[in-house]
Amino acid sequence: MGRIQVNPQEVERVGGRVVSVACGLGDVQSTMRGLEGSVAEPTATATALSDLTNQWTAGLARLEEDVISLGRAGQIAGFLYTLTDDKSIPISPPPGS
C-alpha cells in the first residue's frame, strides 16, 4: 500500500464548509413550515399539504443532522491527522543527534 498524502487543514476546512451548508437546510425547513395553513379549502387538500410539509420538514431535519455529522467528522479527522503528525514526527531532531 502506498503512502497517503493528506492536507489536514484542508480536511478541516472542507468539514467546516459541509457544516455550513447543512445549516442552510434549516432555512429551507422554515420556509416550508411557512406554507402550513396557506391552503384552507378544500379540507382534503389542506390536510394533504400539511402532511406533506410535515414529512418533508422532518426529512430535512434528519438530513441536516446527518450532513452536520459528516462535516464534524471531517473536522475531527483533520484535527486528528495534525495531532498524529505532531506527536509522531518530531519537529526538531532528538537531543544528541
pLDDT number for residue 90: 66
Q: How far is CA 68 from the centre of its chain?
A: 2
The angle subtended at Cα 63 by Cα 26 and Cα 22, nearest 5°, is: 50
pLDDT of residue 34: 81
- Nearest by Cα to 6 from 87, 83, 67: 83
Q: What is the pLDDT of residues 67-90, one digit of tens each?
A: 999 999 999 999 999 888 888 866
Q: What is the pLDDT of residues 15-69, one digit of tens each?
A: 999 999 998 888 888 888 887 777 788 989 888 888 988 899 999 999 999 999 9
pLDDT confidence of 3, banded at 50, 70, 90?
low
Within its chain, how far is the Cα of 54 from the centroid?
22
